[in-house]
Every structure is written in structure tokens, then in C-alpha cells.
Amino acid sequence: MQGVDPAWLPDGAFRPIGTRRTLIRGAGPLVDTVHGEVAEACRRFGGRVVRDAGADAGADGTAYDLVLELTGPEGLGSEGFTCRRENGVTHVTAFGQTGLLYGLFHVVRLGERAFTQDRQKQAHRPAVALRMLDHWDNVAVHPVMGQVERGYAGGSLFWADGRARGELLGRVRAYGRLLAACGINAVAVNNVNVHAVEARLLTDRIGEVAAIADALRPYGIRVHLSVTFAAPMVLGGLPTADPLDEGVRDWWAQTTSRVYEAIPDFGGYVVKADSEGQPGPFAYGRSHADGANMLAAALTASDSGSAAGPGGTVHWRAFVYDHRQDWRDRTTDRARAAYDHFVPLDGQFAPNAVLQVKHGPMDFQVREPISPLIGAMPGTRLAVEVQATQEYTGQQRHVCWLGPMWSEALRFRADGESTVGELARGGLVAVSNVGDDPFWTGHPLAQANLYTFGRLAWQPDANPYGLLDEWIRLTYTPTRSEESARLEAGVYAVLSHSWRTYEKYTAPLGVGWMVQPGHHYGPSVDGYEYSPWGTYHFADRDGIGVDRSVATGTGFAGQYAKPWAEVYESPETCPDELLLFFHHMSYEHMLHSGKTVIQHIYDTHFEGVEEVEAALGVWASLVDLVDPARHARVTERFEEQLRSAREWRDQVNSYFFRKSGVADAHGRRIY
Amino acid sequence: MQGVDPAWLPDGAFRPIGTRRTLIRGAGPLVDTVHGEVAEACRRFGGRVVRDAGADAGADGTAYDLVLELTGPEGLGSEGFTCRRENGVTHVTAFGQTGLLYGLFHVVRLGERAFTQDRQKQAHRPAVALRMLDHWDNVAVHPVMGQVERGYAGGSLFWADGRARGELLGRVRAYGRLLAACGINAVAVNNVNVHAVEARLLTDRIGEVAAIADALRPYGIRVHLSVTFAAPMVLGGLPTADPLDEGVRDWWAQTTSRVYEAIPDFGGYVVKADSEGQPGPFAYGRSHADGANMLAAALTASDSGSAAGPGGTVHWRAFVYDHRQDWRDRTTDRARAAYDHFVPLDGQFAPNAVLQVKHGPMDFQVREPISPLIGAMPGTRLAVEVQATQEYTGQQRHVCWLGPMWSEALRFRADGESTVGELARGGLVAVSNVGDDPFWTGHPLAQANLYTFGRLAWQPDANPYGLLDEWIRLTYTPTRSEESARLEAGVYAVLSHSWRTYEKYTAPLGVGWMVQPGHHYGPSVDGYEYSPWGTYHFADRDGIGVDRSVATGTGFAGQYAKPWAEVYESPETCPDELLLFFHHMSYEHMLHSGKTVIQHIYDTHFEGVEEVEAALGVWASLVDLVDPARHARVTERFEEQLRSAREWRDQVNSYFFRKSGVADAHGRRIY
């Protein structure tokens, strides 16, 4: 794309393939995609590609360097593939077309190594079937919020000038290509807060959704649609949206049937109901299971007989809490809400109704425990949602690579035995951080979050630092090849620790928030303290934190399975980094780290800024190795990050010094 | 006007005149206005009016109850009048037409008393020549701010659908009538922050301003226009706006000349320069006197030879400060800014350049000292600006009658001898609180602020409580006349103490702010504490307040004339209500009231809410006496006020309890 950053698919990534001879065997539209990719690489770099459409055609594989073949073992499913190299031939086989495409991108990731060293046959398949991005994109542009809710990368990739961009503009297809190259296979194309214009995408504007689906389909990506629970009323003119009302059920069935006429491989619905003002089944005295199951039934009915792929699912968000809480009432605890609402419904959801749960009990703070819901609904298909868009983690003006946070979450044994990655049988979902920005994500280094999410969704127990290396090698081709080690080491140094750096200079010890209300950028220690949002730290002159113990607090700690309920219940066993999430502690309390709470606050805030300064220095040293536009954009963001980090440091330190009266042990300047 | 609240000119107010015989002597458009008012009253109530256009016509005054005559003593100026009653005739004389109009409204205010008791001849004339409303109205509607900046009464009265309403719509004329009835004679028709569309009102859209002027002229009101200092560049295409550049001066001269062609009695310009991001002379190394004098010269040149009235003036706002201050820097004090910027320029301003100063050094907080600038520029014509629109005083959702605050300000002897009212030789100005709301001011009781301002501008040493009575009697006609005492007492009880009530439940002891950033509604104790706006309270665990003393603080107290510099310098002599504005005090400091600072905070916040509850009860008791629509609107606002007052109480009390650790002496509930 002209003027668009190539991200992790620069031309050079295809050079190892494009300079060689490739045979492609198999037929179908995604095999055409594979062929197109290889053919373009050969056109550019001088190699050759042969297409052998017959399943058992006779071309001699040994005449080629790379064979991509659609005859793999069925056991790997439609997305798996094998890869081996022997006798000078690199061989990729897959049973499904999508698997062949993923196999091609696997070879791209291997680079020259794919053709220089023999390798045993190895099977690859995704651990998680649904690897999804939720776009909080609106069709209409809000005068304040912009077009993408919590978007920090320009306008929407999908919607422009009030209409779908469709495939003609090419950018959507290019996006699908990037996503396939990191393993994402589903995209919800509109905001979960469904406004008036966007509601109509379900009905008279479904053709626009189909145009986006057409652009993404060649890369194995299915589209999903966020719908409003009130659709039968606002679109259908019915007097009710009661999920047990026959008229309502008929309306959804017929509407969904028309959706499948337009999009045969439609992925399903995403619903935010009874949440932050959105309508839902509570209005009719129905449960969330009633609501979700009605939509699941409509999807099942419409989808039966379709050969386009697995059936449609409804992704029902568990983000239900009282957002009009009274801050004076300390017995209500927002952290408890999802568990309290949904655990009683376990076992009641239809097989194609997926409950989509945020990874933490609050809302994508820089540090939260895992949602106890995840370990407590064995009879329900859960999808786990993370947030790639950096709403609370620097809004793509700060470097904050979230790989380690997500990895910790996915490897957490939520029910005491299985990991979150294993429990996420309904999929892994990230709120997208992409827009129509030339660098895709505003901050060029925020691409690493998108890439890492896709790869972690494929393999939740992967080492995130290895994925970071992978992204860097693909994305940062040095202008001088002998400098690749310096370049890779530099970008790695800037990113690898950045989440912990961000945590250091923002809200301490898991307590969260302390952001400016509304837009959520920059510090405001008391910004949410007296709000109706259930987001408090309760700092006074003696201490800080939320007592969520069973013994003396809100009881939230008791929602966890063993051993976590016991671990979190006591300050003695609670990990430092979550201490203030679970307990109200004196400023003088000694952490496991050997520091007091107040000294920890001071130290981390000074360290955080120092780390940003150091990272900026590293980035500056790479100026000769990075594309000038990309380097300049990152530098500009870094300067804002440094300004903002200093503001965080000084506001947080001053706030707690004024409250506690405790001086910094090292006598540093606190205003 | 259909559906529009009659405010202080209900039909009944004209009944005493409309039932009688009136003779009007004199000629001219404003005499026509007087005649029209009386004729309409007679049409409605059955009286008679005779017009005798000849200056010395022979009609026998004794045949009439009321004679309004344009032959008064020249010494009273164009706006003064005399009033007497003898031999059964009430006689009003004026030298100027405007004076006759004001005389008519004087009779309206007297009501039946004008015709039932003899009175000695008494001369009336305004103490202040210019009595002005600044409308912060925009032509274009901002998606967030709405149309009127800091407006809480709907859209603009002057601008609708992107154009001037003009006189055809009648509402502007009705507004002029209300203003004349309380003595206002000048209106600036657009926002001091001049945006792109509004800038053009000066040039190609001046015809729209002229249409507004036409609608207001029959009520003796001249229009003024806010202009951008950058106009020669943004409208004239010049490369500079340097006030000493000949091309710039020519452009302003020619432009102003065309303004006078369109509006012969044009009042002049209002300019906010080098303030909160607006352009100004600093960009060219010129002083504010240079800037103001250039515009003054353009107005003088264009206006010479016009017989339309006094010449045009430039109102140059003194609201200049650093709005990008670093909160860490305690040496910079926004309160000092206006004095520091402008006092060195005293004596340099042209005679028709008026420096417009906010009454306090900060920005229209519920309690501020008087701006020291007002006592320190004897060689400059000053206008003093107050804010009728309740930006920081409840946004016309809270009852907050500002009469006592303004009266205190106007009677303050700023230079130790003269009062602010006397020093305001350039006029008194209020930021308007009016919009296209049917009740004019959103909250029907906020009309009292507009009325009181007009009457105080006419007579700054008037007793504000008397003016409140006047407004109540005019505005609230009981449905049962025997109940008028109960009605008047009730409305008086609701309004008279309301400013002090509002003060009680908001920021304590003059420290100000503590509002939510941006929109300024509702509490946020630390909302502006770490901001760049120069608006801090510096509360820590030991105390609160800003040290502005000369001895140990920012030195602001030293900007005052004697005796105020000494009074404010020491906590011993500083009045309680301003203590935290001038000093940082321990929570345990004993006030002159005999309470500690912290107990004062607790007590006032509990009392404030109790007072709102009591006022709401009084208002409820008037339900049988007040027009239902008006009663319902006030009740609805009162409910929000009560909710908000409780929020203020609890947030402020909790904040200071958490910080100080001092318990309430009376053991009341603090969260």
C-alpha cells in the first residue's frame, strides 16, 4: 500500500521465498491467495512458482526448493499444517486451505533458515480455534470520541465517509494479510456500543458488512457483527425485545437468515447487553442466558445446511456491573460483579453461545488479577478478552508492550489446574489497536501488541519474548545488514520491559485507575475516587488500597478457586504487585520486596521515568538503522511519553507525600 | 412572546399605567417606544394615551394621571430623568429620549404607588455610563460546548441556524425591552473567544450585527462586537497584525469605517488578546496599550462627525495570565498576573480605550478578593466585569443569587478611598446568563441575577436586598392577591441567602476551584490541583491554602493599596472568608469565628446541604402561588441542586477527613 507502513510483512520478508522455486499444489480461493503471495514475491525477487491445481498431479517436488501442498493429515484440522525440510526441499502440507496459508506465513517467519537447514517434520495447529479482534469502530464519527471508541490510530479501517470501505480500497485486504500472518481468523467490524447508524448494519446495511467480509475472506478471516439487543424494537418496530417473546425470536431468526444470505461464512454476533447503559434482557426479567441463547438459536437455524465453515456463535460480553454506584457505599464491589452475575448461569448457555470475559475483574488496568469467573464456569464456553488498544496503558503515545502481561494471564491456572489459555474454549479476543493511520497503530511500536496477541492466541503458552524477537526480525530490516544485531537488540531493549516501566510510573501495586476521567489519559490520582464507576483506592493519611478479603472486606477474594482464594485473602501471601487491589495497607507496611508501601511508590515512580529516559536514548541511537519516517514518529511519541511519565511521577509522589507526610528515604525532589 | 416567560415585565406590571390616562410629549424613535409601551398597556387594560409630538404643545397636563415629557434638565444627561407627583399627576421629565424610557420603567417599578401618593421631585441618573452585557455567544454550535460558551440557558438569543435572528423574530427586541427595564444600555453580541465564523461578523457579515442593533436600538441599547486581534491577517490577508504597522492600522481604520456605515451608533470592540491562546500584541513585541490604542484610534476616526451618540470604545480585557503554568512552580501566582501585566501601562491607554477587569484576581469563583488592579490604575478607564452566567456558581441548576457578592465588590474601597463602583469609570459589565430558553436563564430564579446586575450598574451602592425585593414584586404576581406577602417572603427566603449557601457546600474559606475540570460543574477537590491553570489549594495532611503573603508567599497581598495590603498580609487580620486565598493554614488553626479550619469545613458543608433542603421546602410550599410551568422548572432544578450539594458535602468532607484524620466534633457521618 502506498504510504502505508509494511509492519511485519515488509517486502524483504518474502525475499527467501521470492528468490527460489516453489510448487503449489491444491485448489481453492485461499490456495489462490497463497499462489498470489508467492508469485508476487517471485516477480519482485526473480524466483519461480508453479501451480499444480490437480490434487495428485505429477510434478516432481524435488525440482523445487519449496512445496506447499494441500494434502495434509485431517487430524490437524482446517488450520493446521506440517513443515519439514529434507533432500533440499522445504515441504509444507495442510488439510485445509487456511492451513496452507498459515504454513506459507510460517515459512516467511523462518526466513532464510527455512531453506538452509534440514528440519524434522513438525505439526502446527492453533491451540485456540477462535482468534479474534474486536474493532470498536463506528461508522459515524463522534465529534469528541472520534470514529473509533478508545482508538488511538486515526479513523476506522473499515468505515469511511459514512460507508464501508469495502475491498476496492485495498487497505482492508492488506489488513487481512497482516492478520493472517500472525494467525488471527475473526474480526468484529463494529463497536460493541452500537449506536443508531451502526445498528442498521444488521439489516439494510448488511451489504456493507459483506463487502468487508469479501475483502478479508481470502486471508481466512470471518467477520462478526456487534448488534444491539434492542434491535427488534429499533430496527424491527416490535414493541419488545424480550428474548422469550415469539415475535422477537422470529425477528432475529429471519434477520439472521438474511445475514447468512449476504455472508455465507458469517462468524456471528457480539453483544454488550445490560452494560454501561446498553439495553439487555434484564428489562424483561430474563437472564443473560435467555438473551444469549435466543441469538444462538437464530444463528444455528440460519447456519444449518451451510457448508461455509463452523457455525455462527454469539459472543456475549460478561462486562456487566453497576456503573452508577455510590462511592460512599463500601459494600458494593465492582470487581465482584461479573462473577455474581454469571456464575449462577453456568451450564445454561447454548453450545454456540460464548461468554466473553475480560481478563481482569475491572477494566484493562495495567495490573489486575485474573477474573475469578474464568475458573468458575466449567459448563460454559468462555472467550477471554484482552485490550490491544492502549486505553489505560498510554494510548499509543507511550511504549507499552503487553506481551508479558497477556502471557502471565494466559498461563495463570485459574481453577487451580487449567490455564486461562486452556479454559478459553470460546476463543481469545483482543480489542483492536488499529486504525487508518499509516503506521496502523499510531505508535509504530504498538504493532508489536497486535502481532503478539495473534501469536499468543495461536499458542497461549508461547514465550512472549520469543514472539517479540520474531516480530522485531520481521519488521525491522536494517539498512545495513551487518547492523542487524544492534538494531534488533535496540528495539528489544525499548520494548521488552516497557509494560513494567509503564506500571512503575502509574498506579502502584495493583490499585489501578488514577487516570483522568473520561479520556483516561494522564494522571489524576483522585480522578475516579468519588465517581459512580466503582473504581476507588481509598487513600487517606494512613494508608491506601481496597480491602477485598473475605474476613474484613468485600469478599471478592473468596470468588477464586483454590489456591488463589487463600493466597489473595492474606496480605502475607498476596503478591506485592496485587497487594493494594486486595488489601488496604498502611504506608509503612513492609512489602515482600523489603520496602515499605510508600517507599515503593516513590522508588518505582523515579525508576519509571529513568527507564523511559533510557529507552528514549536507546531509540535515538538507532536513528541510522530505522526508516526515517518510522524513527521520527516513534521519537515524537517518546517525547510525549517522557513528559507524561514525569507528570505521573510528580503528581503521584506529591499526592502521597502530602497525604502520608513520609519523606523519601533518598531525599529526592518531591514537589 | 408566545411561550416565553415574561420575567420582570409581566402584563400586570403595566396595569397601573394601562388603566389610567397618559400624556406623552416629545418626538423621536425612543419616545415612540415609550408611546408604544403605554398604548399597548391601555389597549389591554382600558386606559388612554395621548401623544403630543410638539415640544411645547398646549395640552393641559392636569387632565392626565401620568405625563411623560421630553424637556428635562440637561444636567441629568441623556439617560437621566426626574419623577414627581403633585396635584394628582405623576410627572416624568427627561432631557434625552433614553431618559424618558427609563422614566417609564421607573413608573412601572413603582406600580400602584406611582399614582397613590404624592412625591417630591427626585432626579435619577445612572452612576455608571456604560452598563453592559457580554454575550459569549457563538454563531456556530460547538458539538460539546454548545452554542454559548459557559451558557446554561439553551442556544443563543442572537444567532440561530448560522445567521443572526435579527429583529424579525421579535425575541431579540423582547430581550432589549427586559434589559432597558433594568437599565442595561450595551450588549456585546458575540463571544470574546472569536472563532473563524464569528471573526467575519466584523467584515462581510456586519449586516447581521446591524440587524441585531436595529432590534435593540428602540430600547436604548447599543451593540458592541468581539473581534480577534488577528483580524488583519485572518480576514484582511495581511502578513502581520502588528498594531504599529501602518498597513494594519489602515486596515482597522477602513474596516471600522465600514462598521459605522452599517451601524451608526456602534458601541465599539471587545478584545480578549494574549489570553488563553487568543492572539495579541505580544507576538510583535508590542504592549497591550499599543494594541488597545490602535483600535481606539480606528474607532475615534470612524466615529468623528457621527451624531449617533458617544463615541465607540475598545474594551480590552485584562484577563491575561499564563495558562500553561507548571503546578510544581510555587513562585508563579496567577492571581498576580493582571496587575503585573497592566499596572506598568497605567496612563498609556487612549481615552476611549477601556481596560476591562474581572472583579477578582482569579476567575469568578464563589469567593475571591477584589482584583488589586482596580485600585492601582488611576490613569486608566477601567470597566469591571462580573459573571452573571453561573460558570462556577451552579450553572443555573443551583439557586445562587449573586447580588450580595457583587454589591460587596462594588462597595469595596479598592484604593483605600474610592469604591469599585466609583473606580469603574469605563463601565460595569456582566457576562450574560441568557439564552433562547423559554425562561431566559434556564433556572427561572437566575433572572434575578440579570436584573440585579442591571440595577446595580445603574446604582452600585444600592442595597442589593432591596433590588431583590423589587425583582420579586415585579416578577411574581400571586394568583391570589391576598397571598402576595407569603409569595414574596417565600421567594425572598429562597434567594436572599443562596450565594452564602452555595459557598458553604463548595470550596471553603476563599480557596476556590475544587470543581471538575473542563465543564466546571460538580466537585473534584483535586480536579485542578496538578493542572497547568494556576489554580491550586496545596492541601496536605497538615493544612491547606495558598500563601500569598509578601513575607513568605507569592507577594500577591502586596499588590493591594492600603489598608488592604496589611489586612491581607497577616492571618490575624485577614477575614476568615478569604483566609485560604491568602494563607496556607493548619487544619487546627482557630478562625475568628472560634472554629478550627477543619471544623469550619465540616460545619459549613453540613449546613449548606441543610439550607438547600430548607429552601426546597419553602419553594414547595409556594406551589399554589406560582405559575405551574415556572414552579415545575424550579423544582426540577432544585432536586439536582440538592443531589449535587450532597455530593459536594460528602466529597469535600471525606477528602479532608482522609487527609487530616480529624474527626467531626459533632460525630456526623463522613464517608
**Which of A328, A524, A655 faces B671 most closely, judged by CB atoms?**
A328
Model confidence at A277, pLDDT cuts 50, 70, 90, reads: confident
Pairing type for strands A222-226 and B137-142 reads unpaired
CA distance, residue B541 to nearest chain A CA (Å): 5
Q: B405-410 long-range CB contacts below 8 Å, 24 or more apart?
A: B405/B366, B405/B367, B405/B499, B406/B359, B406/B452, B406/B453, B406/B456, B406/B464, B407/B456, B407/B460, B407/B462, B407/B463, B407/B464, B409/B359, B409/B360, B409/B370, B409/B384, B410/B384, B410/B456, B410/B460, B410/B461
The average pLDDT across B194-211 equals 96
CB contact under 8 Å between A659 and B658, yes or no, is: yes
Task: Give me the residue label for grid cell 457455525.
Answer: A311
Sequence-separated (6 or more) residues with CB below 8 Å from residue A532: A323, A324, A325, A326, A327
Cα–Cα distance between A402 and A499 in angstroms, integer? 6
- Taking the Cβ of residue A658 and every Cβ of chain B, the question of whether any pair is shorter than 8 Å is answered with yes
Sequence-separated (6 or more) residues with CB below 8 Å from residue B654: A328, A530, B670, B671
Active site residue B529: no
Cell, residue A464? 512472549
- Taking the Cβ of residue A94 and every Cβ of chain B, the question of whether any pair is shorter than 8 Å is answered with no
Task: Give me the residue label for grid cell 410627572.
Answer: B91
- Taking the Cβ of residue B97 and every Cβ of chain A, the question of whether any pair is shorter than 8 Å is answered with no
- Taking the Cβ of residue A524 and every Cβ of chain B, the question of whether any pair is shorter than 8 Å is answered with yes
Cα–Cα distance between A610 and A617 in angstroms, integer? 11
**Contact list, A671 vs chain B (CB under 8 Å):** 327-328
pLDDT of B422 above 90: yes
| Percent of chain A surpassing pLDDT 90 | 91
What CA–CA distances, in Å, run from B289 to B28, B225, B276, B311, B424? 39, 19, 19, 19, 18
Pairing type for strands B186-188 and B585-586 reads unpaired
Q: How many CB pairs under 8 A join A and B?
A: 60
The average pLDDT across A197-204 equals 97
The answer to whether the CB of B335 falls within 8 A of the CB of B372 is no
* Class at the top of the CATH hierarchy for domain A503-546+584-660: alpha beta
**Contact list, A525 vs chain B (CB under 8 Å):** 526
Q: What is the pLDDT of residue B309?
A: 54
Reply yes or no: is the peptide bond before residue B563 cis, omega within 30 of 0.
yes
Reply yes or no: is the peptide bond before residue A6 cis, omega within 30 of 0.
no
Cell, residue B125? 441618573
Least confident of B125-134, B207-216, B261-270, B305-314: B305-314
Q: Which residue of B has its CA nearest to A525?
A: B526
Cell, residue A445? 511500536
Give the DSSP per-residue string, B394-439: TTTTS----HHHHHHHHH-BTTSSSBHHHH-TTEEEEE----SSTT
Residues forming beta bridges with residue A345, ordered by sequence position: none
Cα–Cα distance between B429 and B386 in angstroms, integer? 6
Model confidence at B310, pLDDT cuts 50, 70, 90, reads: low
B11-124 shares its CATH topology with B131-475: no
| DSSP letter assigned to residue A49 | E
**Fold adopted by B131-475:** TIM Barrel (3.20.20)
The answer to whether the CB of B390 falls within 8 A of the CB of B147 is no
Cα–Cα distance between B380 and A601 in angstroms, integer? 53
Output the CA torsion sign for B375, B380, B384, B385. Answer: negative
Q: Which residue of A has its CA nearest to B523?
A: A530
Give the amino acid at B13: A
Cα–Cα distance between A196 and A501 in angstroms, integer? 40
Residues forming beta bridges with residue B21, ordered by sequence position: B48
**Contact list, A517 vs chain B (CB under 8 Å):** 516
CA distance, residue B497 to nearest chain A CA (Å): 28
Give the DSSP per-residue string, A518-549: TT--SB-TTTTTTSTTS------SSEE-----
Distance of CA B330 to the CA centre of its chain: 32
CA within 13 Å, CB half, A671: 17
* B 142-181 near A (Cβ less than 8 A): 143-144
CB contact under 8 Å between B540 and A647, yes or no, is: no
Task: Give me the residue label for grid cell 460587596.
Answer: B408
Output the CA torsion sign for B234, B238, B244, B249. Answer: negative
Cα–Cα distance between B278 and A447 in angstroms, integer? 39
A11-124 is a CATH 3.30.379.10 domain: yes
Per-residue pLDDT of A124-153, as tens digits, reads 999 999 999 999 999 999 888 889 999 999
Per-residue pLDDT of B49-102, as tens digits, reads 999 855 444 556 678 999 999 987 888 999 999 999 999 999 999 999 999 999
Q: Which residue of A has its CA nearest to B658?
A: A540
Q: Where are the beta strands (DSSP E) in B125-247?
A: 131-134, 137-142, 146-148, 159-160, 163-164, 186-188, 222-226
The average pLDDT across B424-435 equals 97
Cell, residue B369? 478578593
Per-residue pLDDT of B243-258, as tens digits, reads 999 999 999 999 999 9
Cell, residue B275? 489570553
Cα–Cα distance between B598 and A460 in angstroms, integer? 55
Model confidence at A57, pLDDT cuts 50, 70, 90, reads: very low
Q: What is the pLDDT of residue B359?
A: 98
Q: Looking at this predicted complex, what is its ipTM?
A: 0.85
Cα–Cα distance between A263 and A169 in angstroms, integer? 20
- Taking the Cβ of residue B542 and every Cβ of chain A, the question of whether any pair is shorter than 8 Å is answered with yes
Cα–Cα distance between B464 and B460 in angstroms, integer? 9
The domain segmentation of chain B, as residue ranges, is 11-124, 131-475, 503-546+584-660
What are the φ/ψ torsions at residue A340 (nearest 5 degrees)?
A: -60, -40
Which option is the CATH number for A131-464: 3.20.20.80, 3.40.1350.10, 2.40.50.100, 3.90.226.10? 3.20.20.80
Instruction: Return the residue in B145, B513, B530, B609 with the most chain A beta carbons within 10 A, the one to mutate for interface testing.
Output: B530
Cα–Cα distance between A484 and A490 in angstroms, integer? 10
The average pLDDT across B553-581 equals 98
CB contact under 8 Å between B661 and A542, yes or no, is: yes
Please list the active-site residues of A. 276, 363, 391
Q: Which residue of A has its CA nearest to B662?
A: A541
What CA–CA distances, in Å, run from A281 to A227, A294, B448, B627? 14, 11, 48, 42
Q: What is the pLDDT of residue A310?
A: 61
**Which of B143, B541, B659 faces A144 most closely, judged by CB atoms?**
B143
CA distance, residue A655 to nearest chain B CA (Å): 8
Cell, residue A218? 481470502
Model confidence at A582, pLDDT cuts 50, 70, 90, reads: very high
**Contact list, B654 vs chain A (CB under 8 Å):** 328, 530
The answer to whether the CB of B534 falls within 8 A of the CB of B321 is yes
